[in-house]
Structure 1
Amino acid sequence: MADSNGTAMAANSRARGIRATGRRRKGRTRRRRALTITLCALVSAVLLGGAGLGYVYFKLNGNLKGVDINAALGRDRPQNVDNGSMDILVMGSDSRAGKNGAYGRDEGGARSDTAMVVHVYKGHKKASVVSIPRDTMIKRPDCTTSGGRTVPGAQRAMFNTAYEVGGPACAVKTVESISGIRMDHFLEVDFTGFKKLIDALGGVDLTTTRPINDKDSHLHLPAGKHTLDGEQSLGLVRTRHGVPGGDGSDLGRIQLQQTFVKALMNQVRNVGVLTNPAKLYDIADTATKAVTTDTDLNSVGELTGLAKSLGAIGSDHIDMVTLPVTYDPADPERVVPLTKKSAQVWDALRQDKAIPKAATKGSAGDQGGTGRYVK
């Protein structure tokens, strides 16, 4: 596993954990425009939609769902370093329950289809995003779910099983154990919510350099410029086999997701909702129904504060990487972290520094083969 030292860190900080202010550290700046630095549509619509809607505060507040991460994890967490930065775990779940059943059979529990650690640097003018492949084999720690149930750990488990067996609290603890970094916040969206968010935004503009055809993700796009609706956007961020030149792995899909996030950010900045109250409300209503957060972000007021704090970050100030991995010798369909290189990534973020290029050089995460086919 990439890092194990995080599990031994005592939570002896003067801070109390995931705070209701939308920040854990000093150095917060206020901006008028909202930002997305997250998985697919989640944070973009949540943060944009939350701003300036006090007149429907209680309606939107009632839409939100929260999970008490602090209560579930207790004190066995990495130290909360007060250096002005912020770390957010953003996840997309692939539950097939309810309306999500169109994407496959419900096998009893959701898994983390996508996981990104968003590190916002001191001053909140730039960020790094580390995608964790769902098929990464890791040591999963013992967990206590938000409902108080104890889940035993495992010496060798796929990363996305943490969410499956223990929900958001176990996912957060697993990320903290492999990174040694305390997460300030948790944000999650599912398939159906993702589609609705994109549709509420009016779609996302992308260009494909070659045709994409994937019957499994219901995506069929000729080469050229497109405005993707919610269904097509979901197909793009889920496709593993439909992109020419891809290796059919989760690593190739991550490259598509990273490209999509930046395109989405640019779309949000140009959508003009701040001058269109009806559209702004529609996005906010859709977003707040679609997401699950930690309880300290579980209000429109806190999401608005987070949005204002992050409003200066543009897509050109976000460095997106994949956790350095190599294919698992025991199972070529799985990957394992490159210990030294992964440590470089997490150490840089822990110290609020840029991720060195050497940390990702030679990683299988940069070899998915799909990044150059979508822009």
Structure 2
Amino acid sequence: MSAENTPESGIQGGPGAETPRHRGKGRRRRPRQRRKGPLIAAWTAAGIVVLGGTGAGYLYLKLNGNLKSVDIDQALGTDRPQKTDNGSENILVLGSDSRSGGNKKLGGGADDGTARSDTAMVLHLYKGHKKAVVVSVPRDTIIDRPRCTDTDGKVYPAASGVMFNSAYSTAGAPCAVKTVETLTGVRMDHYLEVDFSGFRKLIDELGGVEVTTTRAIDDPDSHLKLTAGPHRLDGEQALGLVRTRHGVGDGSDLGRIQLQQAFVKALIEQAKSTELFGNPKRLLDLADAATKTVTADSDLGSVNRLMSFANGLKGISSKHMTMVTLPVRYDPADPNRVIVAEAKAKQVFTALKHDRPIPKAATEGTATGDAGGVVTSGE
């Protein structure tokens, strides 16, 4: 099965702490992990900020005060891939999983207030911003993490054979960006981080998302229980859907990525079809929730800059967005982990560098998780 996720591969569009490599035996374990849909909230937030930012001055100040930013450029310095001059842009979108505050009651895991990255997507906007491709990076991918410096100037040594998501938990956003740039050789022009609990609130403020399940889903770990048939998912149900791994496919992280990618398309179309201008209070609530949810790089860390960026996304519909997963294969040393399929991954990264479509050969014959066909459009 191809790693490329079309609308048929899940949901169609419609209205760690650092873990060293070790040997594993027997069947693949299915650890209880949580997952968010960061691009979902980031895309929604960007579009809503465009609308919400048109209000009065006090509203602008309120929304601007909600936004958090991190200076990626200062933390990383000049030892980075060169910026491209072909008109394209690359944005690293992460879902952060803090177990403090509003997130603590939404799932298991440590409650010490530390944050982890559970979802990573590289969004590539092609020249002209009329189409895009999303490359998901599985959190369980075994990589060599580069030497990192966090925003406080503390240096962390490089590490070999660790999970991809250890970069964020070790040194935050700058290390996550540096790890992706080291892995891909592609410069990340921007960074967006979406909070766990904020995702749920955004879906509720939007009025839910319509989907149809082709078979029943019952996953006690993600607290999701749906009969086969049409549903309008509220925020908690949507969060359960993008987190579920035991209820669909082979129970792997890769299968959940398929659901997340497809749900992004459904939500984009839902957001585009929702009438907001006729309801000022709803518009304000959406803008408030969106700006509280997002952390951006310093270049996007104001309402004006995020508005400008979002304006560049408005022409991209789900039909012009391709979803793929970083080409990986199961790690023979540990069946609970995956490793990069180097030759195929190189095709993906080369395409991004040169602003070209990702060749189908790059995503054929790689591990996918087999979660396709579980949910379809709400149409």
TM-score range, shorter chain: 0.7 to 0.9
In the alignment, the residues of structure 2 paired with residue 183 and residue 351 of structure 1 have an alpha-carbon distance, to the nearest angstrom, of 14
Say whether the 8 Å CA contact 1:41–1:264 is kept in structure 2.
Answer: no
Match of 1:313 among 316, 327, 337: 316
Deviation at 1:293, TM superposition (A): 0.7
Say whether the 8 Å CA contact 1:143–1:170 is kept in structure 2.
Answer: yes
The 5-angstrom pairing of residues 280-319 of structure 1 reads 280-319=283-322
> Is 1:119–2:124 an aligned residue pair?
yes
In the alignment, the residues of structure 1 paired with residue 375 and residue 39 of structure 2 have an alpha-carbon distance, to the nearest angstrom, of 17
> 1:316 is matched by which residue type in structure 2?
K
Deviation at 1:285, TM superposition (A): 0.4
Provide the residue aligned with 2:92 in structure 1: 89
Per-residue CA deviations over 1:346-368 (Å, capped at 9, x if unaligned) read 10010000000000000103xx1
In the alignment, the residues of structure 2 paired with residue 150 and residue 165 of structure 1 have an alpha-carbon distance, to the nearest angstrom, of 10
The 5-angstrom pairing of residues 171-320 of structure 1 reads 171-243=176-248, 246-320=249-323
Per-residue CA deviations over 1:32-82 (Å, capped at 9, x if unaligned) read xxxxx9622222133323334241111100000001101100001001011
Provide the residue aligned with 2:49 in structure 1: 49
Deviation at 1:167, TM superposition (A): 0.5
Provide the residue aligned with 2:356 in structure 1: 353
Say whether the 8 Å CA contact 1:111–1:163 is kept in structure 2.
Answer: yes
Tell me, what secondary structure is at the counterpart of 2:312?
Answer: helix
Tell me, what secondary structure is at the counterpart of 1:41?
Answer: helix
In structure 2, do the counterparts of structure 1 residues 66 and 134 end up closer, same or farther at CA, with 3 Å as the change threshold? same
Q: Structure 1 stretches of 5 or more lacking a match? A: 1-36
- Normalization by structure 2: what TM-score? 0.86
Provide the residue aligned with 2:172 in structure 1: 167
Say whether the 8 Å CA contact 2:118–2:165 is kept in structure 1.
Answer: yes
> 1:333 is matched by which residue type in structure 2?
N
Higher-RCO chain (CA-CA 8 Å, sequence separation at least 6): 2
Tell me, what secondary structure is at the counterpart of 1:303?
Answer: helix
Say whether the 8 Å CA contact 1:47–1:303 is kept in structure 2.
Answer: no
Provide the residue aligned with 1:369 in structure 2: 370
Per-residue CA deviations over 1:311-341 (Å, capped at 9, x if unaligned) read 1100000000000000001000000010000
Per-residue CA deviations over 1:263-283 (Å, capped at 9, x if unaligned) read 000100111113332211111
Deviation at 1:228, TM superposition (A): 0.7
> 2:49 is matched by which residue type in structure 1?
G
Say whether the 8 Å CA contact 1:38–1:261 is kept in structure 2.
Answer: no
Say whether the 8 Å CA contact 2:123–2:133 is kept in structure 1.
Answer: yes
> 2:100 is matched by which residue type in structure 1?
A
> 1:68 is matched by which residue type in structure 2?
D
In the alignment, the residues of structure 2 paired with residue 171 and residue 47 of structure 1 have an alpha-carbon distance, to the nearest angstrom, of 25
Deviation at 1:157, TM superposition (A): 0.8
Say whether the 8 Å CA contact 2:212–2:229 is kept in structure 1.
Answer: yes
> 2:126 is matched by which residue type in structure 1?
Y
Provide the residue aligned with 1:23 in structure 2: none
> Is 1:332–2:335 an aligned residue pair?
yes
Say whether the 8 Å CA contact 1:38–1:118 is kept in structure 2.
Answer: no
In the alignment, the residues of structure 2 paired with residue 279 and residue 49 of structure 1 have an alpha-carbon distance, to the nearest angstrom, of 13
In the alignment, the residues of structure 1 paired with residue 222 and residue 40 of structure 2 have an alpha-carbon distance, to the nearest angstrom, of 15
In the alignment, the residues of structure 2 paired with residue 363 and residue 238 of structure 1 have an alpha-carbon distance, to the nearest angstrom, of 22
Say whether the 8 Å CA contact 2:49–2:303 is kept in structure 1.
Answer: no
Per-residue CA deviations over 1:279-314 (Å, capped at 9, x if unaligned) read 111110000011111111111111110111121100
In structure 2, do the counterparts of structure 1 residues 107 and 336 end up closer, same or farther at CA, with 3 Å as the change threshold? farther
Provide the residue aligned with 2:102 in structure 1: 99
Provide the residue aligned with 2:148 in structure 1: 143
Stretch moving more, 37-46 or 267-276: 37-46
Deviation at 1:107, TM superposition (A): 5.9
Tell me, what secondary structure is at the counterpart of 2:299?
Answer: helix
Tell me, what secondary structure is at the counterpart of 1:310?
Answer: coil
In the alignment, the residues of structure 2 paired with residue 139 and residue 121 of structure 1 have an alpha-carbon distance, to the nearest angstrom, of 29
Paired-residue identity, %: 61
Tell me, what secondary structure is at the counterpart of 2:277?
Answer: helix
Say whether the 8 Å CA contact 2:48–2:290 is kept in structure 1.
Answer: no
Per-residue CA deviations over 1:211-248 (Å, capped at 9, x if unaligned) read 111111111111111111110111111111012xx111
> 1:284 is matched by which residue type in structure 2?
A
Match of 1:322 among 311, 322, 325: 325
Tell me, what secondary structure is at the counterpart of 2:40?
Answer: coil
Provide the residue aligned with 1:31 in structure 2: none
Stretch moving more, 289-298 or 40-49: 40-49
Per-residue CA deviations over 1:181-200 (Å, capped at 9, x if unaligned) read 11111111121111111111
- Normalization by structure 1: what TM-score? 0.87
Q: Structure 2 stretches of 5 or more lacking a match? A: 1-36
